[in-house]
Structure 1
Amino acid sequence: LFKLIGKEAFTIAKHHCTINIDVVSSFVYEYSLDVDGKPLEKFSEKRSKISRMWTLTLYRKNYRIVLEKDTLDLWVNGQRIEADATFEDEGGEIVFDIGRHQANLKAVSSGNPRLEINHVLFVDEVEISQESEYDNN
């Protein structure tokens, strides 16, 4: 259990976290969360630059797929998975399975060297948007 006020440290996966609970006035508290020594907002901003995430539901089971762009590590529901990757002039493709479903993660050049590579996820040949949740039920 957390103390009513003060700091409490804990770990989530490989990230060191601290919740800070401060008294603002009588019965009014302020909460903040630091992850790896940074405020949650800064940590989230940095993570969004180095990773891409998709959420989807396949036959009532929720999945979260995360691509770490700097290492090309692929995670499904928090578990790093092995996948087959191929690279060509137009971009690359990572093929893997989500349950009994085939997934293809394609990296496609935007055509502008100043812009980053676009990552597009397909599950059972259906494009999954990063901005919305996909549910095939």
Structure 2
Amino acid sequence: MSFLSPTLKIENLAKEPELVQDHLAEENRYARGNFVARWCVPINGKMYRIEFDHGTTSGRRMIWVNGKEIIRRDWMFKLVGDDSFKIDNARCIIRVDPAPGFKYEYSLYIDGRPHKQYTEEQARTLKTWLTVVDGVEYRVVLELDSLNVFINDQLRSEMGDFVDGGTDTDFEENGVKFQLCARLGSESNGIRHSLKVNGEIIPEVSLIDLDEKDVK
């Protein structure tokens, strides 16, 4: 996934000159709202939000993962290049490339693959559901190869019970009842998975759609 900063648009340009953020107090200068690029990445059944700040005047680069600052580099004279880090043993690289009009492109690579390719590959091995109950968002992820189940990135230990045509796995979180159903389909469809929350079927979401959402 590579894109220019969404703030670099005519309608978003300030009508009056503004000072760079280097004149601000440190706690305000490094606010997470200043990032220029953001990606959501599924790694080992968990979802991670990666945010990147690129200070083209100060040379600053900062990286947050799920809201936690993991890299801060100040006064970097080279404005393009790579920053590498690891998330759950996956090697990640954020690459800054020059773009026409004194702009920059920001790309993320995970284990050597571009973010879009990596996410599409993961989408074939994961099933994901999102629901909100009493104002609390729950994200349920099923790893198809290991059959591990995660709720909001926490691995569950419940085992499935055999029923007619498949298995049902029941678990509970904060008083909310979940049931993951696996049923045998046709030879072409294989096993079909569905999720019920408090007895209601929840539609599956794609990882591509999740990339447009914040990870809580």
Match of 2:193 in 1: 119
Match of 1:25 in 2: 100
CA–CA distance in structure 2, aligned partners of residues 35 and 88 of structure 1: 39
Match of 2:150 in 1: 75
CA–CA distance in structure 1, aligned partners of residues 193 and 146 of structure 2: 14
CA–CA distance in structure 1, aligned partners of residues 203 and 110 of structure 2: 27
SS at match of 1:41: helix
> Would you say the 8 A contact 1:84–1:96 is kept in 2?
no
CA–CA distance in structure 1, aligned partners of residues 135 and 181 of structure 2: 25
Instruction: Read off the aligned partner of 2:191 and give its amino acid letter.
Output: I
Match of 1:104 in 2: 179
SS at match of 2:91: strand
Query: Cα RMSD (Å) of the superposition?
Result: 1.8
After superposition, the C-alpha distances for 1:29-79 in whole angstroms (9 at most, x for unaligned) are 111111122111111111111110011111111111100011010011111
Identity, % of aligned pairs? 30
SS at match of 1:84: coil
Q: 1:9 aligns with which of 84, 99, 104?
A: 84
Match of 2:202 in 1: 128
Deviation larger for 100-109 or 7-16: 7-16
Match of 1:59 in 2: 134
Q: Which sections of structure 2, spanning at least 5 residues, go unmatched? A: 1-60, 63-75, 207-216
CA–CA distance in structure 1, aligned partners of residues 108 and 86 of structure 2: 12
How many pairs are equivalent? 131
CA–CA distance in structure 2, aligned partners of residues 71 and 49 of structure 1: 13
CA–CA distance in structure 1, aligned partners of residues 88 and 138 of structure 2: 18
TM-score (norm 1): 0.86
> Would you say the 8 A contact 2:130–2:137 is kept in 1?
yes
By percentage of residues, which structure has more strand?
A: 1
Q: Which sections of structure 1, spanning at least 5 residues, go unmatched? A: 133-137
By percentage of residues, which structure has more helix?
A: 2
CA–CA distance in structure 2, aligned partners of residues 23 and 49 of structure 1: 33
After superposition, the C-alpha distances for 1:77-125 in whole angstroms (9 at most, x for unaligned) are 1111111212346111111112211111001122x21223211100110
TM-score (norm 2): 0.56
